[in-house]
A and B are shown apart, each in its own frame.
Chain A
Amino acid sequence: MTEGPRTIVIGGGHNGLVCAAYLATAGRRVLVLEAASQPGGAAVTRSIAPGFRVSACAHILHQLNSQVISDLNLVRHGLRFSARDMATVALHGDGRHITLSGADAGTQSLAAHSKTDAAALPKLRQRLARFAKTLQPFLGTTPPRLGTRDWSDRRSLLKLGWKIRRLGRNHMRELLRIGPMNVADLLEEEFETDLLRGALAFDATLGTRLGPRSPESVLTWLYRLAAEAGAARNGAGHGLAIPEGGMGSVSDALAQSATAAGADLRMDAPVARILVDNDRVSGVVLESGEEIDADTVISNADPHRTFIELLGAEHLDTGFVRRVKNIRLRGACAKVNLALDALPSFNGLEESQLGARLLIAPGIDYLERAFNHVKYGEYAEAPGIEITIPSVDDHSLAPRGQHVLSAIVQYAPYDLKGGWEAAKDGFADRVLGVIASYAPGIEKHVIARQLLTPADFERDFRMTGGHWHHGELGFDQLFMLRPVPGATQYATPMAGLYLCGAGTHPGGGVMGVAGMNAARQVMLKEAA
C-alpha cells in the first residue's frame, strides 16, 4: 500500500502495534517507528545471561483485551500461553501459605487461618466482580468530555450514570462508598487474616505509587479487576497467564498481525522531533536526521515525552503545558530478574506449586511500611514482591534444569535520594534477602541477577519517570482526566497528532485497549 496519506506511529510498544494493526486493517498506510531493535516497548523478552531470557517489565498477561485478541487474530499470529489460570500463593513465613486461585478462591488453605475469612472472601469477590463488570465497558470507550454539546459525550455520561444506577440501591451505595476508600480499611472491615489482607492489598496497589492506606487504592483495585473482566469477556478468559517465550511473544504476535495487515515496521528508528507546518503535524524527524512526511502522527510515547520533548511546548498553550508538566508519573515499581542454576525451593511449597504467582506481602502494615519510604525518596527496606518462575512451564527461557525467576518489587522510587547508581547493589541484596527468607539458600543458585529501577525503565523504554502506566492511576488521572484535559479523546490540541499509549485512557497493563480506542478515534477524525 503506497498510496494515500501516511500515518506514523511513534513507538512500537504494544499499544502502538495494536493501533497500527487496526489502522492498517482498515486500509490506512501506516509506518511504525520503534527506537529499539525489537518491537514491543516494555513488553519484551530480553536476555539476562547467556541462555536465560525473561520478560523485561510486566511478566503476567491478565488484561489483554479479548476483543483485541480476536480482532487482530493474535492466536493465528503466534500467541501461545505456557501457563494459564495460574494460582496465586500468598507466602507465609512458616509455610502456612494461602492459595488463592481465580475460580474457587482456594478456601481450604485460607480456612486453616480463619473460617470466617474463607466464607467472606467469595462474597467480597462477588461484590467486586459485579462492580468490575459494570465498569468494564467504559474501558473500551472513548472517555466523554464534560460540558460539550456533543451527543456522543452526553450519551456516554448518561450511560455511565445509568449503569451505576442499574446496580440497584444497595450496590450503588456500596460502590459510591468504597470507590474513594483505601483498601486497608475495606479489607480490615471484611477479614481478620493479615496475610490475606496483605495479598489482596498488594493486587490493589501493584504498579501504583499508593500504599494500602492511601485513599483511592480501592479504585485502583476495581480498575485492575475491570481490566481483567475485559480480558475474560466472551469466554476468552485465560486468567493469569504467561505467554510462551515471555511477554515479547505478545509483541511479536502484534507486530506480525500489523505487518500482515500491511503496516510497515521500522526498528532502530528513534524519533527526535515531531514536525509542524501551518499548525498541523507534517511528519517526524529521526535522531539520524532523516525526515519522514506524514499527515497523521500517533504517539505511543508517554504524554510528557510526546508534548514536551517531541512536539515542543512552543506549539501548545501554557495552560495545557502546565497540565502536562504536572502529570504524576514517577514510577515506584522495580523488577528483579534472576538466572538460577536450579529450581529454588520455598518453605512449605511443593515443586508443583512453583509455577504459581508467589506473593510476598505478609500484611497490610508490612506493605504500608514499604510504601512509607517512597514518599521520602528511599527504597523499601522490606519490599512487597510478586514472583513468577516462568521457566517451570516454558523450557525455552533457560538451559535445561536451570531457571529464571522474575520478580516485581514494590516500592522503589524513580526519584531516589542520591540517585540509583550507588544504591542498586544494596537494594538488589535486600530484595534477594527477602526472597531468601522464604526460599532459604536461593542466593547460592544465582548465576546472574538484574535489577531494573524506574530510572532504568525510563532509559531503556523511554518512559518518563519510569512509570509502567505512563502516569499514575487515581481519580485525578483516569477516564475523562487521562492524561490531561484537552487530550483525553486521543486527539491533542495539535491538529493531526494523536496519543495511543498507556498514558491515555484506560492506561497500561498490556491491555491493548488504549491502542484500540485511539485507532477508532483516528479513523473517525482523519480522512483516509
Chain B
Amino acid sequence: MTTYDAIVIGAGHNGLTNACYLARAGLKVVVLERNPYIGGAAVSRELHPGWTYSNCSYVCSLLRPEITRDLDLPRHGLQITPYEGGLLLTRDGDYLPSYRDHDLNRREIARFSKRDAEAYDRFGIEVLRYCRFIKPLLMMTPPDPTSYKPRDLLGLLNIAKRFYDLGEEQMYDLIRFATMSCAEFLDGYFESDVVKANLAGSGIIGTALGPCSPGSAYVLLHHYMGEVDGVIGAWGFARGGMGAITQAMSKALQSFGGEVRTDASVAHIIVENEQVAGVALDNGDEIRAKTVVSNADVKRTFLGLMDAKDLPEEFVHRVRHFKIRGSSGKLNIALDGLPTFPAVPRDCPALRGDFHCVDSMERLERAYDDWKNGTWSRDPYVDMVIPTLTDPTMAPPGKHYLSVFVQYAPPYLADGEWDDANRAAFGKTVIDQIAHHSPDFKDLILHAEVRTPMDLENEVGLTEGNIFQGELTLDQLFFNRPVPGYAQYRTPVKGMYMCGSSTHPGGGVMGAPGAHAAREGLRDLRHPAHARVAVPGAQLDESVPRGQRLQYGTRS
C-alpha cells in the first residue's frame, strides 16, 4: 500500500491540469489512468500504420492561456498552429470560404447577400462583446446564489457589477442572447440561409439541441470563447495531434514531481468516516490519500465508483438525472492522397481549416430530429479537417489524414444496437455525404475508424459518449453544473473533488475545470498556493486589431 497526498482519477486534460497544479504546490500526486495511454479524449493514436489520429478531440482553441502559461506547456513541446480559414460546401456545388482576412470574408459573404456582409461586422462586434462578459465567468468558481457566505456574495456582486457596467441596452441583449435559439439569434442579423448555416454549426456541436432550440445561441458562443495566440475565437491544430496537449501536460507534471500510472483502473473510491481515504484498483491494490479528485464524469464517479450509501439521497437522485446524452460521432480516415473538391480552388488557403457540408438551417434542424427519433442523421452535419495540410508529421509523405466530426448520432438506437452493421451503415452515411462534394474521395480511403457515442463511452469512459461530460443547457451551466449546490468542485464527501468537464465551465479541452478544482482543493488544505492557480493574466483582447478579433467561420 502506497500513500499519496492526492490521487487524481483519469489522465484526461483536466485530470492532468489538476494534478499539475497540486504537484506544483508541493503535494505528492499520482494520476491513475485506466487505459495503457494517457490523454482521455485528447489523444494521438496510431490506429493505422504510419498515421497519427487525433481520434477523439481534434482541434484546439479553448485551452485557457492562463493554464498554458502556468504549466509552461510550450516548453514541454506544445505547439498550436491556427487554421487558415474554413469552408462551407453547398449541395449545388458552390462554396463559402472564410479566411483570416476580414475584408476577404466580407467579399465572400456578399456573394450570397450584400446585406449580410454589412451585418457580419455588427455580428462580430456583438458576439465579441458577449465573449468579453462571459469569459471571466469561465475562470471563476461559480458562486452559490443561495449562500450568504461572504465569498459567494462577493462573487455574485462582482458579476452583477460587471453586468451593470455593460449598460442598459447591452444587458438586455445579453439576456436575450443567453436564452435564445441559435436560429433566431442569427435571423436577427442575416438573411442568407447559407451564411446562417455556416455560423450555426458552432451552436450545435456536441449538444443535444438543434439550431431552433432555445439556448443554442449560448453553445455557439462557447465555441467562440477560445483563442490561438491571442486571436479571439480562432481554432488551431496541435502539432502531433491533440495528444500533444496531454503529453505536454504529463511532462509538466513530471517536472513538478508528480506521477502518472497507466493501466491502473480504479474499481472504487474508499470512504471512511464520511471522509475519502483513497481508491481501490481493479487488480486489488489500494492507494491511500486524503484528497481524491475525479476527472471522470459525474455519473461514472458517483454512480459507478462510489457507493450510494456514502452519499446523500437527494444528491444521488440529481446525479442520476444529470443530462449527458451523447450526440456526436467521429470518423478518422487515412487517405492515399489529397481529395479534390471541385467547388474549391486547389490552392485555397481555406482548405487548411474546417469544412462543413451544410447549406441551410433546415438541414441542420432535420439532422437533429433524426437524433431525437433515435437514429443517426441521414443528412449529417460534418465538421472535417485535414490536419496533415498543416502538420505533415501526422501521415507518411504525400498521404493525408482526415478527421470528420459528425453531428448527430445517438448513444442508443431506437431500433437495434450499435453493432458492426449499424456502425458501418453510419460510416457509409457520412462518407457518402463527403463524397457528394469530392468525387475521388472514396477511392482514396485506406483505412477508416468509425466511432459511435457508445465507442466513446467504452474507450474513453465518457458516459453516453457526451463530449462535454454533460449537456450545455442553462439548467446545467454555471452554478447549476453539475448539480445545484455542488458547483464548487466539492462533493458531499470530505476530501473528494470533481475536476472533469461535468463541472463548470464544461468541455472542450479548456483545462479550466481541472484548475478550478485544484484551487478549491488547495483552499480546503489552507495551502497558500491556491491563490496562484490560473489567475487571469495578460488578456490580449485589447491588443488585437478589430478586424481580426473574431475569426469568422472557424470553430471546432
CB proximity to B under 8 Å, residues A213-242: 213-216
CB proximity to A under 8 Å, residues B135-169: 145-146, 164, 166-169
**A147, B145: Cβ atoms closer than 8 Å:** no
Q: How far, in angstroms, from A65 to B475 measured CA to CA in the complex?
A: 31
Q: How far, in angstroms, from A180 to B369 measured CA to CA in the complex?
A: 21
Q: How far, in angstroms, from A322 to B323 measured CA to CA in the complex?
A: 36
> CB-CB < 8 A to B473: which residues of A?
180-182, 215
> Is A2 an interface residue, CB under 8 A from the partner?
no
Q: How far, in angstroms, from A391 to B215 measured CA to CA in the complex?
A: 43
CB proximity to A under 8 Å, residues B220-242: none
Q: How far, in angstroms, from A172 to B484 measured CA to CA in the complex?
A: 10
> CB-CB < 8 A to B215: which residues of A?
180, 215-216
CB proximity to B under 8 Å, residues A150-181: 165, 169, 172-174, 176-181
> CB-CB < 8 A to B475: which residues of A?
177-181, 215
Q: How far, in angstroms, from A185 to B433 measured CA to CA in the complex?
A: 32
CB proximity to A under 8 Å, residues B184-224: 184, 187-188, 209-210, 212-215
Q: How far, in angstroms, from A179 to B485 measured CA to CA in the complex?
A: 16
> CB-CB < 8 A to A279: which residues of B?
none
Q: Residue on B with the closest CB to A168?
A: B146
**B168, A147: Cβ atoms closer than 8 Å:** yes
Q: Residue on B with the closest CB to A377?
A: B362
**A173, B209: Cβ atoms closer than 8 Å:** no
> CB-CB < 8 A to A475: which residues of B?
175-176, 178-179, 214
Q: A481-B176, A485-B169 are in contact. Are A372 and B213 (CB under 8 A)?
A: no
**A215, B180: Cβ atoms closer than 8 Å:** no
**B164, A147: Cβ atoms closer than 8 Å:** yes
Q: How far, in angstroms, from A226 to B446 measured CA to CA in the complex?
A: 61
> Is B321 an interface residue, CB under 8 A from the partner?
yes
**A174, B168: Cβ atoms closer than 8 Å:** no
**A185, B213: Cβ atoms closer than 8 Å:** no
Q: A173-B485, A216-B214, A475-B175 are in contact. Are A146 and B362 (CB under 8 A)?
A: no
**A326, B180: Cβ atoms closer than 8 Å:** no
> Is A375 an interface residue, CB under 8 A from the partner?
yes
Q: A176-B484, A177-B484 are in contact. Are A372 and B171 (CB under 8 A)?
A: no
**Closest chain B CB from A383 CB (angstroms):** 17
Q: Residue on B with the closest CB to A180?
A: B474
> CB-CB < 8 A to B187: which residues of A?
326
Give the interface size bracket for A toward B: 35 or more
> Is B366 an interface residue, CB under 8 A from the partner?
yes
Q: A178-B475, A189-B321 are in contact. Are A145 and B168 (CB under 8 A)?
A: yes
**Closest chain A CB from B211 CB (angstroms):** 9
> CB-CB < 8 A to A174: which residues of B?
484
> Is B120 an interface residue, CB under 8 A from the partner?
no
> CB-CB < 8 A to A185: which residues of B?
321, 323
> CB-CB < 8 A to B485: which residues of A?
169, 173
**B214, A214: Cβ atoms closer than 8 Å:** yes
Q: Residue on B with the closest CB to A190?
A: B321
Q: How far, in angstroms, from A176 to B473 measured CA to CA in the complex?
A: 12
Report which of A165, A178, A189, A372 forms a contact with B369, defined as CB distance below 8 A: A372
> CB-CB < 8 A to A145: which residues of B?
168
**Closest chain B CB from A469 CB (angstroms):** 16
Report which of A176, A180, A182, A376 forms a contact with B362, defined as CB distance below 8 A: A376
> CB-CB < 8 A to A72: which residues of B?
none
> CB-CB < 8 A to B310: which residues of A?
none
> CB-CB < 8 A to A326: which residues of B?
187-188
> Is A480 an interface residue, CB under 8 A from the partner?
yes
Q: How far, in angstroms, from A177 to B362 measured CA to CA in the complex?
A: 30
**Closest chain A CB from B449 CB (angstroms):** 32
> Is A278 an interface residue, CB under 8 A from the partner?
no
Q: Residue on A with the closest CB to B476?
A: A177
> CB-CB < 8 A to A474: which residues of B?
179-180, 214
Q: Residue on B with the closest CB to A484?
A: B172
**B214, A215: Cβ atoms closer than 8 Å:** yes
Q: Residue on B with the closest CB to A172?
A: B146
CB proximity to A under 8 Å, residues B350-378: 362, 365-366, 369, 372
Q: A145-B168, A216-B214 are in contact. Are A368 and B372 (CB under 8 A)?
A: yes
> CB-CB < 8 A to A375: which residues of B?
210, 212, 362, 365
**B168, A476: Cβ atoms closer than 8 Å:** no
**A176, B372: Cβ atoms closer than 8 Å:** no
**A215, B474: Cβ atoms closer than 8 Å:** yes
**Closest chain B CB from A62 CB (angstroms):** 25
**A376, B365: Cβ atoms closer than 8 Å:** yes
> CB-CB < 8 A to A148: which residues of B?
168
**Closest chain B CB from A74 CB (angstroms):** 36
**B179, A480: Cβ atoms closer than 8 Å:** no
**B171, A146: Cβ atoms closer than 8 Å:** yes
> CB-CB < 8 A to B171: which residues of A?
146-147
> Is A335 an interface residue, CB under 8 A from the partner?
no
**Closest chain B CB from A187 CB (angstroms):** 12
> CB-CB < 8 A to A213: which residues of B?
213, 372
> Is A328 an interface residue, CB under 8 A from the partner?
yes
Chain B CB within 10 Å, residue with most, of A148, A165, A177, A179:
A177
Q: How far, in angstroms, from A130 to B48 measured CA to CA in the complex?
A: 59
Q: Residue on B with the closest CB to A376?
A: B362
Q: Residue on B with the closest CB to A213?
A: B372
> CB-CB < 8 A to A210: which residues of B?
214
> Is B489 an interface residue, CB under 8 A from the partner?
no
CB proximity to B under 8 Å, residues A171-219: 172-174, 176-182, 185, 189, 210, 213-216
Q: Which positions in A face B, CB cutoff 8 Å?
A: 145-148, 165, 169, 172-174, 176-182, 185, 189, 210, 213-216, 319, 322, 326, 328, 368, 372, 375-376, 474-476, 480-481, 485
9 smallest CB-CB distances across A and B, nearest first, come from A180-B474, A475-B179, A173-B484, A476-B176, A147-B168, A485-B172, A215-B215, A181-B475, A169-B146
| Contacts A169-B485, A180-B473, A181-B474 known; 11 new A-B pairs at CB < 8 A | A173-B485, A179-B474, A180-B474, A180-B475, A181-B473, A213-B372, A474-B179, A475-B175, A475-B179, A480-B172, A485-B168
Q: List 30 A-B contacts (CB under 8 A).
A: A146-B164, A146-B168, A147-B164, A165-B146, A169-B146, A172-B145, A174-B484, A176-B145, A176-B484, A177-B484, A178-B475, A180-B179, A180-B473, A180-B475, A181-B475, A185-B323, A213-B213, A214-B213, A326-B187, A328-B184, A368-B372, A372-B372, A375-B210, A376-B366, A474-B179, A474-B214, A475-B175, A476-B175, A485-B169, A485-B172
